[in-house]
Amino acid sequence: MWDPSWKGYRKMYDERVLERINEGKAGYSKIDYALAYASWIVHDAFKGAFAWEKIKLQRTPAASIGIDLTKIKYEVGDPHKMSVYVKRAAKFFGASLVGICKLNRLWLYDGVEIDDKFEYAIVIAIEMDADGIATSPSALAAAATGVGYSKMAFILACMGEFIRNLGYDAIQCGNDTALSIPLAIDAGLGELGRNGLLITPEYGPRVRLCKIFTDLPLEPDKPIEFGVKDFCRKCKLCAIHCEANAISMDDEPSFEAVCKSNNPGALKWYVDVEKCYLYWCENAIDCSTCIKVCPYNLRTARKTLSPEEFWRLGVIDV
């Protein structure tokens, strides 16, 4: 987006939406796009979701006479017990998975500075709707993604306020501020896959990620391994099905970047995210095919679903 020499420079991936609707293809109708655009609304409209400070005073009778829980610090005697509270709160607010890690500042974006007191990251994974994703690359899969982002806004806001009400600080982040996937790996939520996404044991890559940095004393989790790297060496399904040929077919991961938008120096299969984005522009909506076809997703999801079947689910038997 910053490089004028690139083909996709400042190109919006849904620029061709009207053309796409007029083509009359299943999964790209006005009703499908209406759902996809609606799905993002909480994420886009609720800026408090990504607050670094108290969003709003408590709306309670006590608040009206100046009683503010944020001013009274909850003494944490046992970080393990506090972690249980935090994880339960995250699940209560709608998280599918939650883990905790020490905040490794290597994962912060260039130029971002976070006070040293923010020692921990609470990392949350939100399951995306399996039936929507099963229609990828249609606009209905994009709707599943959008719902993931809107749920993220809700959970982040509630978690940030929960922590502040205990007298501690919270920095709520979506895709901003730091790389979510390495933090999720550190927090024990999964491993990195060939498709460049976090693979969780529970949902495979069919999750959205967000994180909260805090000074609340917590107990970090440990990274997990359940054979993803070995499985990816042979599987390659995401690479085979990617319309953009953006995913590596190499047997072995490497340290070499494949495009200007990658960060070199980590051992992994690099995804050509520029090719990926240009395919989104051609598709006139984002794509989730490398999530849909992953066998770790298919443990808990159906393989494919037509847009017509999607719309009838739960309303008319399919």
* Stretch of residues binding ligand SF4 (CB under 6 A), selected from 49-57, 83-91, 231-239, 260-268: 231-239
Give yes or no for residue 289 binding ligand SF4 (CB under 6 A): yes
Q: Which residues pair with 191 in a beta bridge?
A: 199
Give the nearest distance from C-beta 182 to ligand SF4 in angstroms.
17
Taking residue 150's Cβ as centre, other Cβ atoms within 10 Å add up to 22
In contact, 94 and 155? CB cutoff 8 Å: yes
Give yes or no for residue 243 binding ligand SF4 (CB under 6 A): yes
Q: Which of 276, 285, 301, 305 binds ligand SF4 (CB under 6 A)?
A: 276
Give yes or no for residue 235 binding ligand SF4 (CB under 6 A): yes
Give yes or no for residue 270 binding ligand SF4 (CB under 6 A): no
In terms of CB distance, is 157 or 232 closer to ligand SF4?
232
Give the nearest distance from C-beta 15 to ligand SF4 in angstroms.
17
Give yes or no for residue 153 binding ligand SF4 (CB under 6 A): no
* Stretch of residues binding ligand SF4 (CB under 6 A), selected from 93-101, 121-129, 148-156, 193-201: 193-201
In terms of CB distance, is 150 or 288 closer to ligand SF4?
288
In terms of CB distance, is 112 or 267 closer to ligand SF4?
267
Q: Which of 146, 148, 193, 307 binds ligand SF4 (CB under 6 A)?
A: 193
Give yes or no for residue 285 binding ligand SF4 (CB under 6 A): no
In terms of CB distance, is 218 or 293 closer to ligand SF4?
293
Give yes or no for residue 281 binding ligand SF4 (CB under 6 A): no
Binding residues vs ligand SF4 (CB under 6 A): 193-195, 231-232, 235-238, 242-244, 246-247, 271, 276, 279, 287, 289-290, 293-296
